[in-house]
Every structure is written in C-alpha cells, then in structure tokens.
Chains A and B, each alone.
Chain A
Amino acid sequence: MRIKLTAISRDVSRFLLIPIGMLLLSLPVCLIAREWFAVLPFLYSLVIASFLALLLYILGKKNDEISTKQTLLSVAISWGIIAVIGGLPLWFTALALGDTATPTVSYFGDPLNSLFEGFSGFTSAGLTMTIRESELPACLQWWRSFIEWIGGLGLIVFAVALLEPFQDQYALYQAEGRQTRIRLTATRTVRRLCTIYSLYTVASVILFRVAGMNWWAALNHSMTAIATGGFSITDNSMSAYSVPIKLAVVLVMIMGAIAFERHDRFLSGKLSALWQDRQHRLLIILIVSGCIFTAVEQFSDSGQFGWVNNIFQWTSALTTCGFSAQSVQFMSTNNKLLLSLSMVIGGAVGSTAGGIKLARVLALAEGILWHFRKPGLTQHQTYVRRINDKVLDPEQASRQVEAAAVLLVLWLLCLVVCILVLVKIVPNEYTLSDVIFESTSALGAAGLSSGITGPSLHWLGKCALMLMMWMGRLEIIPVVMLLTVPFSYVQSLFDSRRS
C-alpha cells in the first residue's frame, strides 16, 4: 500500500484545528488574569499554528481511499506536531519576559524544556520541567492543565473513533487494506463521551472545592486529574493538601481510569456498570491489593503506616495520573519497583489512562492459563476461550493474546532502551530503581517522578523521555510505523529500480 503524503498532510491540517481552537480559548485567560506580557506569545503561537495548518491544507489533497496505516500515521504525526505547538506559548512567554522572569519561567527559555512540557501535556503524562508550579503565571498554569485535558480527551476519541469501529480492535493492525477515517465530531458516541468527560470535569471541580481547594486550584487539578495527567499548580503536587482533598483526588483519578463507555452506561442508570466487567473488577482488585502491599512494604521499611499517602501514590501510579503526595525519592526500592509495575499495567482501555492497559493484562493472563489447559484437551474436543467477558473462537483469542504479547514485548524493549540511556547520563545520586521508575513513568504516561526529570537533565535524557511518552500514549505501533516510514520508502525506491 503506497502512502500518500498529500492525504496525510490534509489530515494533519485538520488535526491542527485543535491547538488553534485551544489557543483562541486561552487568550481570554491571559486577559482575565491581566497578564499582558503573555498575550503576544499566545498570539504568536496562534499565528504559527494557523499558518502551518493552512500550509499543510494547501499542500494536501483530498483522498477518499484512506488505509488504516495512513490514518495511524496521521494520528502519530499530528500528536507530535500538536505537542510541539503546545510548547510554543511556554517558550515565547519565557522569551518575552526575558530577564524579569522568575527562575521557574526562565527555564522555559530553552526550547527543549518547552517542547518537553508540550509532549508531556498532550500525552497527558505529567512529567514536568517546572520547578515551582506556583510561580508560573496563571495563563501558563491554565495552558498546562488545558493541554493535558485535551490530551486525555483526544485519547478517548482515538480509542472510540478509530479503534472501536473494528470491534475486534486487534484486527486493526492486521488488515492493511481496510478503510477508516476518523470522524472527529461526527459520530454520536464520540460526542456523548465528550459530554460525559466535560460533565465529570465540572463535577470534580465542585468536589475539589467542597473538599477544600480554592476555585483556581480546583479547576486546574480537576482537569488534570480526570485526564489522568498529573500537572499541578502547587509546588510538590498534592503533598500540602489535607486528607479529604487527597481522597477526593483519588476518586477522580479512578474515574479517569475507567472506560468512558462504562461511565456512559453508569450515567444512564446502570449503576453496576462500573464493576461489572472483568477489566474493571481487575482494576478494583489491583487498587485494593496494591494499597495493602505498598503499605505493608512501607511499614517493614520505615516502621510506620501512611495509609492516605500510600493509597494516593498507588492509585496515582496505577491510573497513570501522576499526582504525588510524598516524595518518590525516599520510598523503599521495593515500593518504587511495585509502582513501576503498576505504571506498566495502567488503566482500562477506553479511558484516559496509559500503560499497556488492563484488557491486555487479562488477555495475557488468559493466554498463559490457556497454555496450561491445552495439553489436557483430547483429540476431538472443541473449545471457546473467554477474554474479558467476550467468548471468542480460538483463532480470534490467539490473535488478541498475540497482539497483547507483542505490545508487551515492545513495551519492555522501549523500557530497556530508555533505562540504558538514562543510567548513562543521570547523576550518581539516583539509583537504578529511580531510573526504572522514571522510564516506566514516561512510557506509561504516568508522570510520577523520582526527581530525575527536571531542567538540569541531560538533553538526551529529555529526548528519550519525550519519545517514550509519545510512543506509550499511542501504544507504540503507530509511532514505530512513522519512524520506519523513511526506511520503507527508501526500500521501495530500490525495489522499483530493480524491477
């Protein structure tokens, strides 16, 4: 299948309408906050984004024959470009403020730091280059929360509009010839999910306010919590907040890690929808058992229980949200590794959470059990396999398990590469467990940090983490496709010359 650059270009130009709209919506925030110095940076970003969109639109050509591969490529490219645009306002603001900027803001004068923040935001990861969040101007605090919120929403739309139409979503990567087109606003389901997402955000604003945050913090944190993003506007994330607030945040983080199609059913009256299927039962089991495990581990390590913080940290990692209630650096090695494991697992498919996702874990578990059961079957016996409440023919089931296994292998491979890179360049004060923690956090789009991520990190480390966030968010395969396009293009040139 030949890839048509013109079609991709047109697709990307349509995706760019998203950051353009966001920048337009953010301009009033600068005005309301009376941060005049930020108006021009936002305007510049707006102009650049619009110009780019227009350019790509003109270069592009409408194309009716769109293969799945092409759509995935468009999504991967768009997500990357949008992330770059997400970094622009930060960079321009830092440049505009120049010498008058606080140290926190002036770090964003380095374009790589701004870019990192953009990637972390749009992948709703939450690793940050910000040293003191409270010192950021209000418009930048808003911008960081907003890009995470949209990033989280984008992920649900990506899952529902692109992956769901295939029901057997794993067939997606196998059927090259099939046609898909993302209808960003067209389908009713997508619109409904967007409404639910907004509704939950508003509900959590109110919840946080009632629990004791001020309005501005409640707004920002509810946006990043439901997106399981993890940017905050307070120094040291959630550490300073009281117990009721922490518990409220835990609740919203869990909501964000539940498939939004389940929320849909829940809101239309089926209260049991949230724990009826296996994926979500597994989520509940993991949350409860993980809290107990980490608490016991902490007790054996330091001799004291910190229930609330434990529950908070564990949920934050498993839902790949990334708020933190205590410093990760001083956790025991075992707890760091446990949290790393949970960040590999992640939340439910169709939620805003990252990781390889619970449905894949279930598929893998079934695959393992299956290999033990298989030798017990007799010659004529036929069978069906059950994965996540779906009864599947053996071939179908094998395909799902295979897809999950491939993703897991790719995931671990990326982790190993990232760990090898980071080990080489981080200062000696960080142990291997810190490096593992940071890598899984980036790849799972979690955003908990052991302290490695920061403006002082080597540029190579920043790039590696950025790549991990981008790959992890799109479940690796689209990005790998994109990165290998040049190779396959060159190869096709050779092939055509030979023939």
Chain B
Amino acid sequence: MYLIVVGASAEGRRFIEIALEQNHEVALIEKDEASAREVLKESEIRAFVSNISDDEVLSEAEVDRADAVVAATHDDAQNLMAMVLAKEHKVKTCISLINQQSHASMFEKLGVQVISDPAGIVARQLYQYIDPKRT
C-alpha cells in the first residue's frame, strides 16, 4: 500500500517505522525541514517540506494513488486540513490523531477515522496498572 503521513511527531515516526516493516511505501509531509531530515536519516522514504495548507504538496506526494492519509501532527487545525484535502482527493482511508477531545465532532462530520486524545489513552493505560478495576 501507499501511505502518506502528515507530521513527523513521535506517533507519526513510529507509524512510519511500522509501515516500513510491513513493506508499505511511505511518504512524509512535514513543515519543519530539520525534523523531516531526521526521519530521512533513519528510513528511506520520500519526504516533502511544506505546510499542508499548500495544496500542491499533496499532489506532489501523488495523493491520487495513495491508499491512506494519516494525519499525525500535534495541531488539530493541521490535521483537519489534511483530512479535508485528503477527502477532496477521494483517498479511501483517512485517519487522524485528535489532540483535543472537543474537536472530535468536526472530524466525525467529515467521516474520517480518528484516534482522539492519544495522551489520554496512554494516561488511562498507565492508570490501569495502579487501579485495574477502573478502565
């Protein structure tokens, strides 16, 4: 599969590693050149430095043949923009991180799959070790 990852956050990087292990083709869009290069140093993928709001960059990354777009920045506005654009290009699978839970409804209206509040998920998991009764 061909996967486009938006944002070289910790989650985004980890996702790229896993996707490469499964032999998928990956492209990265990241607005900070230095962090994009950091990723390039570890994995041989294509990387584009640009704000997602620049529509050209998705075309450059050949979004039309992408099987999925994964938005993984820590800025929900960016993620939302990525999702809107991906939907416009009729990408089959659109997945996004949501950093603030109250934003979830906007994403759901778009009809994309979300992982909301990643920090919350980790925190709850941590708490579970202390108090297994509460989920």
Contacts and interface: CB of A to CB of B under 8 A. Distances in A.
Interface of A: 378-384, 391, 393
A380 B41 contact: no
Main secondary structure of the interface of B (DSSP, over half): helix
B50 interface: yes
Given A380-B48, A380-B50, A393 B60 contact: no
B125 to A, nearest CB: 34
B60 A384 contact: no
Nearest to A391: B41
Contacts of B54: 380
Q: How large is the interface on B (under 10, 10 to 19, 20 to 34, 35 or more residues)?
A: 10 to 19
A382 B49 contact: yes
B47 interface: yes
A380 B27 CA distance: 12
Interface of B: 33, 36-37, 40-41, 46-50, 54, 56-57, 60
A438 B37 CA distance: 46
B60 A382 contact: no
Contacts of B47: 381-383
B41 A381 contact: no
Contacts of B41: 384, 391
Nearest to A378: B60
- Give the residue among A380, A383, A393 with the most B Cβ atoms within 10 A: A380
A296 to B, nearest CB: 36
Given A380-B54, A382-B47, 4 more contacts: A380-B48, A381-B47, A383-B47, A391-B41
A381 B40 contact: no
A384 B39 CA distance: 10
Contacts of A393: 37
Nearest to A383: B40
B37 A381 contact: no
B60 A379 contact: yes
B60 A380 contact: yes
Nearest to B62: A378
B33 A381 contact: no
A381 B40 CA distance: 11
Contacts of A381: 46-49, 60
